[in-house]
Amino acid sequence: MFNLQTISNQDLEIIELSNQEKTAIARFYPELGGSVQSLILDGEIIIDNVAPLAYQDTYASSILFPFVNRITDGAFDFDGITYQLECNEADANNALHGHVYNKTFQFVRSQLDLDRGVIVFKYVDNGKTRGFPFRYSIELVYTVGKEVFSLKVIIRNLDDRPFPFTIGWHPYFKSSDLFNSQIQFNGSDELQTDLRSKKGQDTITIPINDKELDHTFSLFKKKIEFETPKYQLLIRGNHHTKFFQLFTPKKPNVLAIEPMTGVANSFNNGLGLQVLDPGKMYETEWGLEVVKAS
C-alpha cells in the first residue's frame, strides 16, 4: 500500500509518497513549483535534487511553462502586441524557464492504492505576470509505482484571449558513474554545431564520458534511453514531445534530461510553439520506467 505523509522542514513543506517497502519514494515540494525533488524507483536513486547547488540556479525538476529554455532579451510579439518578460538570466539578458518554477502549488487530492500512489497539485495565475498577462491554471498529476513514474500536466486557458506557449520538464537523473553512462534515442542532432555522436538509421548514441553538455535534440520516436552501470531508464513522452535538452550541472554523476515541446526562443522562432484558445485545455505527459542492469 502506498502512503502519504508531510515531512517537517524549517524552510519548505515536503510531501512524501512511498510504498511500504520504501523501494519507491517520491518527495514533492509544493513551494518549488510543485516539483519532485527526489525519486527512488525499485530501490535506485533516479532523480536527484543536486544539492548543494541552489534550486534557483538549477531549476531542478521544475515545470517549464509558458516557455522552455530562454527567450532572447525577454521580448516577443504575439497577435500584434509586443511583450517584455522579466529577464531572470541577468548576465545574458534572457527570460529563463518560464514562470511557474518558483510558484507555490496547492495540494488538490491523492489516491493511494496497493501498487501505486497518485498526487495532484495546482496553480492558478491571475494574469498579472509581467510580459505574460494571461489567466491560466496548471495542474500536475504525479503517479508513482514500484518501477514506474509519470507526470501529467494539464493547462487551461482561463482568459478571454489566446496565448502562446511551450512546455517542458527539467529533472536531473542520478548515475553511479556518469562517465560510463550513455544516452540513446531516435532523432536528430541537426540543431547542434559542436557535438559529435554515433549515428545509425537515425539512432543516436551519446556516451557521456566527460562531456559538458547543454544541447538540444529533436525526437522522431518519443523515447529516450539513459543507460547507467546500475540501471536503464526509459523516458517516454506523448506526441507533443518533439525535443529534449541535455545538460551537465556543476555536480558529479548527475545529468539533466529535459523533454520539451519546443526549443529556446520559441516565442520568436516558432519551433514547437503552440497557441491555446480561450476556455481550451492542453494536456501532455511524461513517463519513466526503470530496468535494472543485468
pLDDT at 196: 47
Q: What is the CATH number of the domain that holds 115?
A: 2.70.98.10
Which is higher by pLDDT, 43 or 188? 43
How do residues 149-176 score in pLDDT, each as one tens digit? Answer: 999 999 999 999 999 999 999 999 999 9
**Scanning the structure block, which residue is given the C-alpha cell 481550451?**
280
> Residue 119: in which H helix or E strand, if any?
strand 116-126
C-alpha cell read off for 153: 500536466
Q: Using CB atoms within 10 A of its CB, is residue 256 exposed (0-12), middle (13-18) or buried (19+)?
A: buried
Average pLDDT over residues 272-285: 98
How many domains are there within the chain? 1
Question: Residue 267: enclosing H or E segment and its boundaries?
Answer: helix 266-269
Domain span at 176: 2-292
Record the pTM.
0.94
pLDDT tens digit sequence for 187-214? 987 665 344 444 444 789 999 999 999 9
pLDDT recorded at residue 188: 85
For residue 57, the SS3 value is helix
Q: Say how many C-beta atoms besides its own lie within 10 A of residue 91's C-beta.
A: 6
Instruction: Kindly report the number of other CB atoms within 10 A of residue 255's CB atom.
Output: 23
Q: Based on DSSP, count helices (H) and strands (E) in the chain, helices before strands.
A: 2, 26
Residues in Cβ contact with 8 at an 8 Å cutoff, skipping those fewer than 6 apart: none
